[in-house]
Chain A
Amino acid sequence: MLSKRAEDGGCWEPEGCGQWDWGCPETRSRLEEVFFGDQDVIRRGSEDCRRFWAFFERLQTFRKPKPGPEAERPPEGPRCPALADLPATYDPRYRINLALLSGDGEPGPGPRGAHGRLPRDRLAEFRRAVLHYLDFGQKQSFGKLAKLQRERAALPMARYRQHLLQALREHQVVVVAGDTGCGKSTQVPQYLLAAGFSHVACTQPRRIACISLAKRVGFESLNQYGSQVGYQIRFESTRSPATRIVFLTEGLLLRQIQREPGLPQYQVLIVDEVHERHLHSDFLLGVLRRLLPARPDLKLVLMSATINIGLFSGYFSHAPVVQVPGRLFPITVIYQPIPKEEVPTSKVERLDPRPFLRVLQAIDRKYPPEERGDLLVFLSGMAEISAVLEAFQPYAAHTKRWVVLPLHSALSITDQDKVFDVPPPGVRKCILSTNIAETSVTIDGVRFVLDSGKVKEMSFDPKAKLQRLQEFWISRASAEQRKGRAGRTGPGVCYRLYAESDYDAFAPYPVPEIQRVALDALVLQMKSMGLGDPRSFPFIEPPPAASLETAIIYLQDQGALDASEHLTPIGTLLSQLPVDVVIGKILILGCMFDLVEPVLTMAAALSVQSPFVRSAQSDVECGTARKPLESDHGDPFTLLNAFNAWVQVKSDRSANSRKWCRRRGLEEHRMYEIANLRQQFKGLLQDHGLLAKARVVTGDSYSRQQRHRQRQELYQLKRRHEEGEGRKRKVLRLEALEGGSSSGEEAEVSGSQAGDGTHHVDIQDVKFKLRHDVDQLQAAASSAQDLSRDQLALLKLVLGRGLYPQLAAPDQYNSCRKDSDQFFHTQSKQGAVLHPTCVFANNPDLLQGGQAEAQKNQGPLSDRRDGSSSQHQLLAFVSLLETNKPYLVNCVRLPALQALLLFSRSLDTDGDCSRLVADGWLQLQLEGSEGAVRILSAALRLRARWEEALDRQLARQAWPRGEDGAATAPKTERKAAAALGRDLLDFMRSKVSYSIHRLTALEAQNLYVGPQTITAAPQLPGLFGEAALTPHETKGGYAVTSFLTYNCLTSDADLYSACLRTFWSCPHCGFYMPLTPLERMSHESSCPAAPDGDAHGASEEEEATSGRQASTLRRAYHCEICQKDLLLTPTEILRHRRLHV
């Protein structure tokens, strides 16, 4: 085609006549055909080709007149033969060590025939231009390489390279101590690679650091486009068989050890930032210390700031320390303690911004605006940041010398990114940050640091199992870190809003995380790694004993550990799910009732930071747009709705999900996280046989092809984006920043822009579509959107059971209170309030059904004054967080009676079962013993069936799986689960009127009758399977099941249980006898004509199979305490053990 056009003639005439025009498209096309073919270095239409023409144009403008034919010969003759044959005449082309074969040879036919039409001298000229271009490229790349090597060699770490390698040859463990800027994190891995080590893992406390370090080290080790350097984080991995060094999080390495305790895949481990003392890093050190003797060939490098080095060295039998000085410029410290009258007197009072403002003014007075240098302010939390922001903004607007930017983890990613942008000339950037900028985020150009000396940290109260966010003085080590941020690029100044004597009184180091957080996940992981008793594990610094005890008791309460602290089957599974125990339970329970899709989403949503942007809370428009997403069942359902609605938007190709999120005050990044996490959960459930692997729906070949094409396009977009290397630094605008956060327009254009801005690529969207099958997600989302009432109720039950015992009861006077004054009580914490984001915080009436009805009942027409209702509600919550008040976070409401009957670990009754006490803190008074007995016995049967179903599910997980890897539930099992689901729903709907009362301390003390002398067990055959009725040793009454104790409650009327016998006829079989309530229950549960029970909805044959299956789960169990040999399922063993507690 092209040659045909060439024959038509171009804009140039054959040799000699007419004007030669390099710019003529026809000419260029012919030249490209000759020089830029598929075999050539530069290919037609490539980016390189475009760059060449730009270069060529510049070359034309600089073209000098040709030198005269006779250049001067050097006056002296050559001294040696090598110089003798230097070209006599200078020509720049002699300076190029490249030659080009393209366009050579005789003109002739063939693909390159076109050049016959080009004048020979023009061809030669063009060839020289190409050579110049290639030479220029060589010079550029080499310059880059040389600069890189120079910079690496100039790092303080470089001088210690040999020292480090020598130490590592002689010792198994080496500590590298060096401060920020010494280059240890980037250089040490490279030294190891260059020294010939090849399987190197380097852990980082933060995911983001894994990615950035892998990029940097890849670049520096000239492996930017290779695969020797990779990273591995929760959702992403660039690891391949060729990878020689991998950056990964501490948590991930721990998981690898959990799978392969000897860690055979690594030769060297580097644990970076050990001084930060994260929970995982402390634990990892402990695990590694145990591992090292078993792997004498494994080398371990600990890297730390120059903080507390002796501790780490000592922990590894005095490992040698390579200490590297940092590269910091001198920093002047100015102590400016806050005057007394400006110190907030109570913790609710807002921070006084005046001392901060004075520093701003001092900088303006002392340093001319043309001297660049930004200010970094360290504050304790978001409230403090907004107080200072409010005070700084008018000042900044007035002086036009500052742009003020907040920085904390709850900001949107776009807003966080702004702190890296540059201010216009004459204007300084002022970043108001939490301690996130102490180590996690490094901002260049900071010259001034203003340190409030405060930090807010989570602390854990093991007694109340309560997380508390409290303000503390920082440690001296943190103060030094903060100060150091001022001296990274030049000499700096650090203002400290405290006295030098305060500084001296600070603790030397921050409190390690292990000493201030809940340890359940840690204990669970330790158990599953077979590390024995956590109490005797040799931690580098042990956690408080009370925290360990609390964690163990909690895991026992959650059913993950048994009475002798061994992992239960469910505990084993939970230890493999990288989530909170509660969330893990919800996942497992959800699998049983075919609620996998919504449960996956909820579990994921509850495991990430809330996608609801706090600042949008007060925004009326946001509130209105959010409204349709809200669910009156509770926050997890709102999250489910939000995610599903977002997926619908995503699946619509034309819709802009980013805009959709912004309008609703949703952080889209969290949505991506939820999508990734739920995918990971799904994989885990499939791996553990709880969920059948989805069959791949291939569709017809057309749709397959189309899908393939779409994916190719997405890959291309992603590659192009990666080559464009993300976001360019932008110049901040003064006016636009007055709001402190991004305006809508700005957020629209920021983010990733590829190329020359001709098209916007939402790289998150691209990655999302590459990682997920959007159609499949959309199908799941729309199925979840039309969940039936039944499914919703079942979902609530699953959540409730998972979250139990995290329950809160509304205060009895809530209905008389203002919306904002609603109180709730948990067993251990009184007076908790709802988190402002909670759906019930704005709609408290949703929780007052019981109280409202009870009040109505109190009217003159009713003689009941006891608050009876069938609609009492309880809240199950995901976490209890204490800041200035204890807050319940992520709540679901549940019908109180049913939830307590189904979930309580301890249920105590009186003689006629109308009075029940759940877990020793909530008392239920039911109306009429008849109904009470019926609902109690229904609950008992349901609980037994549910346990059994769970056992079977867990046992299936433990079985070796077949070739196809899928362990699908047998049909019968699925039917039984469906039947159980139906019966649970019936149970939830049962209407019984009752009152609910939180026991006072005094009442709780005198709750039980205590051990009785008459201990003859009533004869109640077949009531609860094989379990024998035994007198309860402490409470009195009889232990019926592991959780139910009959007739152990003291009451005013001292009734003898036998006196409670009344005539009763069985509604199913017509049996008629005087019976106690317990005897009635016994008969009902064993009555062959009863419609309830396993037979419900299943044929007899199926019942027989399911019975057989249950019996296959039984194994011989010898109880040490009662010296009996029993045949029990794992759950029954657990139940049995509890009897002895």
Chain B
Amino acid sequence: MASSSEQELRGMFECQVCGLTVPYSYVGQKPPNSRTVVLLEECYVLKDPFSSDKDRFLILGSQCSLCSKLVCVGPECSLFYSKRFCLPCVRENLSAFPQEIQQDVEKRYALSKTGSRKLDSRT
């Protein structure tokens, strides 16, 4: 019973920015059993491992629409603004984005810097 609910793993998703490596079970815009939800980009998807609901999915990442790198959806790696952009690309083309995105990217950058410093002090 349990085994049928487990989706076949298709391979490993690896973020080309942060190196996060996670197995994925689907690529596309209509995850299996996703019912009335569709994705607005081609995503690497995994059954949500933190939910007991077997139909819940988790988006891992997708391709940057500018550089085509595979990136995870983590805030340090990419953002979505009608399309997926990796953060390096966003920063390169920062002026092309609206004010709100620009501010957000700056905030993320500052945060990630303090975050990594915190990590350094631990070890």
On whether the two chains bind one another, the answer is: yes
Picked from A76, A85, A86, A149, the residue with its CB within 8 Å of the CB of B20 is: A149
Flag whether A1108 is at the interface (Cβ < 8 A): no
Flag whether A227 is at the interface (Cβ < 8 A): yes
Number of A-B contacts (CB under 8 A): 130
In the complex, A41→B39 CA distance in Å?
Answer: 13
Chain B nearest CB from A329 CB (Å) reads 10
Residues 951-963 of chain A: 1 if any B CB is under 8 Å from the residue's CB, otherwise 0? 0000000000000
Hey, which chain B residues are within 8 Å of A240, CB to CB? 2-3
Residues 31-50 of chain B: 1 if any A CB is under 8 Å from the residue's CB, otherwise 0? 00011111111010010111
Interface residues of A in 101-159 (CB under 8 A from B): 101-102, 134, 138-139, 141-146, 149
Q: Apart from A90-B98, A98-B37, A240-B3, what are 14 other A-B pairs with CB-CB below 8 Å?
A: A41-B34, A41-B36, A76-B96, A78-B96, A80-B93, A97-B80, A101-B37, A141-B51, A146-B72, A222-B49, A224-B49, A226-B5, A227-B2, A240-B2
Hey, which chain A residues are within 8 Å of B2, CB to CB? 226-227, 240, 242
Q: Is the CB of B43 within 8 A of A223?
A: no
In the complex, A240→B3 CA distance in Å?
Answer: 9
Q: Given the known inter-chain contacts A138-B73, A142-B58, A227-B2, please indicate yes or no for A149 contacting B98, CB distance below 8 A.
A: no
Flag whether B121 is at the interface (Cβ < 8 A): no
In the complex, A729→B49 CA distance in Å?
Answer: 24
Q: Is the CB of A101 within 8 A of B50?
A: no
Q: Which of A67-75, A1079-1087, A1130-1138 lies on the face that meets chain B?
A: A67-75
What are 21 A-B residue pairs whose CB atoms fall within 8 Å in the complex? A40-B36, A78-B96, A79-B96, A80-B93, A86-B81, A97-B39, A97-B59, A97-B80, A98-B37, A99-B37, A100-B37, A101-B37, A102-B36, A138-B59, A145-B58, A146-B20, A222-B46, A223-B49, A225-B49, A240-B3, A242-B3
Chain B nearest CB from A240 CB (Å) reads 6
In the complex, A949→B112 CA distance in Å?
Answer: 80
Q: Given the known inter-chain contacts A97-B59, A99-B37, A146-B72, please indicate yes or no for A224 contacting B97, CB distance below 8 A.
A: no
Nearest 7 pairs of A and B residues by beta carbon:
A222-B49, A242-B3, A227-B2, A90-B98, A101-B36, A102-B36, A83-B96
Flag whether A39 is at the interface (Cβ < 8 A): yes
Flag whether A347 is at the interface (Cβ < 8 A): no
Picked from B5, B65, B74, B101, the residue with its CB within 8 Å of the CB of A82 is: B65
Residue picked from B38, B62, B84, most chain A C-beta under 10 Å: B38
Residues 49-72 of chain B: 1 if any A CB is under 8 Å from the residue's CB, otherwise 0? 111111110111010011000001
Q: Is the CB of A97 within 8 A of B43?
A: yes
Picked from B34, B35, B41, the residue with its CB within 8 Å of the CB of A97 is: B41
Hey, which chain B residues are within 8 Å of A241, CB to CB? 3
Chain A nearest CB from B96 CB (Å) reads 4
Picked from A75, A142, A227, the residue with its CB within 8 Å of the CB of B74 is: A142
In the complex, A891→B105 CA distance in Å?
Answer: 77
Closest to B33 in A: A41
Interface residues of B (CB under 8 A from A): 2-3, 5-6, 20-23, 34-41, 43, 46, 48-56, 58-60, 62, 65-66, 72-74, 79-84, 93, 95-101
Closest to A228 in B: B6
Chain A contact residue count (CB 8 A cutoff):
50
Q: Is the interface of A mostly helix, strand, loop or mixed?
A: loop
Q: Is the CB of A39 within 8 A of B79?
A: no
In the complex, A225→B55 CA distance in Å?
Answer: 12
Closest to A77 in B: B96
Q: Is the CB of A74 within 8 A of B97?
A: yes
Flag whether A1058 is at the interface (Cβ < 8 A): no
Chain B nearest CB from A440 CB (Å) reads 28
In the complex, A144→B60 CA distance in Å?
Answer: 12
Flag whether A95 is at the interface (Cβ < 8 A): yes
Hey, which chain A residues are within 8 Å of B41, CB to CB? 97
Q: Is the CB of B58 within 8 A of A141?
A: yes
In the complex, A82→B81 CA distance in Å?
Answer: 12
Chain A nearest CB from B1 CB (Å) reads 8
Closest to A140 in B: B50
Flag whether A293 is at the interface (Cβ < 8 A): no
Flag whether A367 is at the interface (Cβ < 8 A): no
Hey, which chain A residues are within 8 Å of B98, CB to CB? 71-72, 74, 86, 89-90
In the complex, A97→B6 CA distance in Å?
Answer: 25
Q: Given the known inter-chain contacts A222-B22, A224-B50, please indicate yes or no for A41 contacting B35, CB distance below 8 A.
A: yes
Q: Is the CB of B96 within 8 A of A74?
A: yes
In the complex, A222→B48 CA distance in Å?
Answer: 8
Q: Given the known inter-chain contacts A90-B98, A97-B40, A242-B2, please indicate yes or no for A82 contacting B51, CB distance below 8 A.
A: no
Flag whether A731 is at the interface (Cβ < 8 A): no
Flag whether A96 is at the interface (Cβ < 8 A): yes
Flag whether A87 is at the interface (Cβ < 8 A): yes
Hey, which chain B residues are within 8 Å of A7, CB to CB? none
Q: Given the known inter-chain contacts A80-B66, A82-B66, A134-B37, please indicate yes or no for A95 contacting B79, CB distance below 8 A.
A: yes
In the complex, A313→B65 CA distance in Å?
Answer: 53
Flag whether A94 is at the interface (Cβ < 8 A): yes
Flag whether A863 is at the interface (Cβ < 8 A): no
